[in-house]
Amino acid sequence: MVTINDVAELAGLSKSTVSRVINHYPHVSQEKKQKVYQAMKTLGYVPNSSARSLRNKKTQMIAVIVPRLMNPFFGQLIESMEVAATEQGYQLLICQTMYSKETELGHLELLKMKQVDGMILASLENEWETISEYLTYGPLIMCNEFEEDANIPIVKLDQIHGGYIATKHLLEEGHRRIAYCSGGHKSMVAQHRKLGFKKALKEYGLEFEERYSFLDAYSIKDGMRVFHELNQMEEPPTAVFTGGDEVAAGLITAAKENGVRIPKDLSVIGFDNQVVTKIMDPKISTIEQPIQLMAQQAIKVLVEKIASKQDPQKERYEFPLKLIVRESTGRSPLRAVE
Amino acid sequence: MVTINDVAELAGLSKSTVSRVINHYPHVSQEKKQKVYQAMKTLGYVPNSSARSLRNKKTQMIAVIVPRLMNPFFGQLIESMEVAATEQGYQLLICQTMYSKETELGHLELLKMKQVDGMILASLENEWETISEYLTYGPLIMCNEFEEDANIPIVKLDQIHGGYIATKHLLEEGHRRIAYCSGGHKSMVAQHRKLGFKKALKEYGLEFEERYSFLDAYSIKDGMRVFHELNQMEEPPTAVFTGGDEVAAGLITAAKENGVRIPKDLSVIGFDNQVVTKIMDPKISTIEQPIQLMAQQAIKVLVEKIASKQDPQKERYEFPLKLIVRESTGRSPLRAVE
């Protein structure tokens, strides 16, 4: 193995000078630096610190796995995690799965290879049985997306309540034909929201209608597509639960372009309270998700698990959601005469 | 050092079974898997593959450094890089600097520690002299943000032309008092755009006016702030070069709330052609940046550098920008009578 002595010899400099260069100490001339770097390169020398992965030392790095960063919900989640991780002295590596099982497993290898001290899963592509095998290598926690049976900490939002209060608001405005949009099929976040949606319907003696259900709704473009589909229905819905502010923004844009007035003809409720809700005309009613609190808690819990080195435990942390009524929801046109 | 034989002995299983578990082969019972994982944990055994960082083997990982993922420009850049990297068999790690020099150096350590095979810098916080020292450890390229003298490949957009065509469009509509917004001070992207802005002004015999210059403009909120500042001026501008679609969206929102008509009273031009330009009312005129082409080229160039193992060279790749006129720009109110 190449040592620092070999580098010093080839560079024609003292071992302490080489050490100063490697550790970025000040007051080393550019010329000496170049000599050291050239010698390191020629010999293929890697500073000792990179041997840490084999010495079971901590890397002070955390990885977080998300599906897509283009979704502003995850952009905000990552940003809050970044701030919290830095405060705790950890570096955050961000990994996208693009909804691929294989890519997710590739990212989990970071834990196996000891390149990170712990990992936060903000999305789940593989079965928990597959993912749980990686617990051997370090702590894993879930944040946002979840698997109820997993014997690890989960930091999440109360999605059942979120689905419930959004739908209840529409029902209270007299709407009875309410379209339901959602993204993932497997996602527990989506399943819980749907439970909340159904719970509210049930209180009004209504059942979930498949004809008003729209899947794969994630983006502004998807919102536009949903509008065109529901606009062609014989008995179109008078309100839409979109499951996302971007979907709501797309739906409203398409509606306006087609002369459908929001909220007079059609009420639209978003989900997330992203900044897009405040720049749309009309401004979008939505459900506020306390993303920052959830992100901070996730970092706090993971850092504790890294420090304690105990076996993972089933811990649950849940944050509440809040209805924000703006301009995109109003009285049902079918009930306006009452 | 703990070996696979130690794990097999403690687990009471054959070495080949342990190997099958480690390599995720099928047809191993859950019970055996648990025994192996338990033994690995007890002994602190790390599979051989994680020794690769010391054997100078490739990791098939690339890191990209961005300032903030909340900025949709970087969200889109990362997404295009992710797709291109996957096609080339590389895993992409994403690192945010949050504009911190220290955080940027922390991320550069990934290259030093051989945790990645190469790195793309989409932003720059430290001086090039500091960053260039990391070239000893592996290939670095710049994408989007740049430092002209750097002796490495740079994949960028023609920002001088972008600043020029946006400004020329406003001048052709009769505007003479044009506000100029920008984000970073040091950023070469920002400096080049300003060169283009000034070049267009010069063609019309105008000079850059500091009173119409607004700094630190990145977000929707910043756009709102800029509107309030310029709305209080004695001779307010009749048009704004925003440097970003989000800034434009915030500016338009604040203008509408204050009874200022877009574009009748004030023309606003964005930059990027993000999706927000199409959902705003009025839709935003902007400059289209070929983000996908730039991202693909960056991955292609870096993968080539990783394979060739040659010393870095000064290579330059530049993509053109395009004006897209929508509804937020029009005739100057001061020239309408001509």
Tokens 């834990």, located at residue: A111
Chain B residue with minimal CA distance to A255?
A: B279
pLDDT at B336 over 60: no
Tokens 């009420």, located at residue: A267
What whole-number distance in Å separates Cα of residue A116 and Cα of residue A59? 6
B22 shares contact with chain A (CB less than 8 Å): no
pLDDT (tens digit per residue) in A327-336? 999 999 987 5
What pLDDT band is residue A337 in, cutting at 50, 70 and 90? very low
* Domains present along chain A, CATH in parentheses: 1-45 (1.10.260.40), 50-157+292-319 (3.40.50.2300), 159-289+322-337 (3.40.50.2300)
Contact residues on chain A for B250, CB-CB shorter than 8 A: 279
pLDDT at A19 over 50: yes
What pairing do the DSSP bridges indicate for beta strands B140-143 and B239-241?
Answer: unpaired
pLDDT (0 to 100) of residue B114: 87
Q: In A, residues 152-211, which contact B (CB 8 Å cutoff)?
A: none
Chain B residue with minimal CA distance to A115?
A: B115
B79 shares contact with chain A (CB less than 8 Å): yes
Nearest to B279 among A106, A133, A249 (CB): A249
Q: What percent of chain B has pLDDT over 90?
A: 75
Min distance A205 CA to chain B CA atoms (Å): 36
Sequence length of chain A is: 338
Structure tokens at A129: 């049985």
A65 shares contact with chain B (CB less than 8 Å): no
8 Å CB contact between B159 and B196: yes
Cβ neighbours for B248, distance < 8 A, ≥ 6 positions apart: B223, B240, B242, B268, B269, B270, B271, B277, B280, B284, B286, B328
Q: Which of A81, A76, A87, A88 is nearest to A64 (CA)?
A: A81
pLDDT at A306 over 60: yes
Using CA atoms, how far residue B14 sits from A99, B1, B25, B34, B36, in Å, is: 36, 19, 15, 14, 10
A94 shares contact with chain B (CB less than 8 Å): yes
pLDDT (tens digit per residue) in B292-320? 999 999 999 999 999 997 877 899 999 99
Q: In B, residues 261-290, which contact A (CB 8 Å cutoff)?
A: 275-276, 278-281
pLDDT (tens digit per residue) in B210-225? 999 999 999 999 999 9
Nearest to A46 among B86, B95, B114 (CB): B114
Mark yes or no for CB contact B94/A95 under 8 Å. yes
Cβ neighbours for B148, distance < 8 A, ≥ 6 positions apart: B188
- Strand extents, DSSP E, A73-115: 91-96
What whole-number distance in Å separates Cα of residue A136 and Cα of residue A44? 32
- Single pTM value for the model: 0.82
Burial of B337 (0-12, 13-18, 19+ CB in 10 A): exposed
What's the average model confidence in pLDDT over B81-89? 94
- Give ∠ CA A26-A30-A31 in degrees, rounded to 5: 130
Strand partners, A319: A157
* Interface ipTM above 0.85: no
Cβ neighbours for A292, distance < 8 A, ≥ 6 positions apart: A76, A80
What whole-number distance in Å separates Cα of residue A198 and Cα of residue A167? 9
DSSP string, A283-331: PPBEEE--HHHHHHHHHHHHHHHHHH-PPP---EEEE--EEE--SS---
8 Å CB contact between A157 and A318: yes
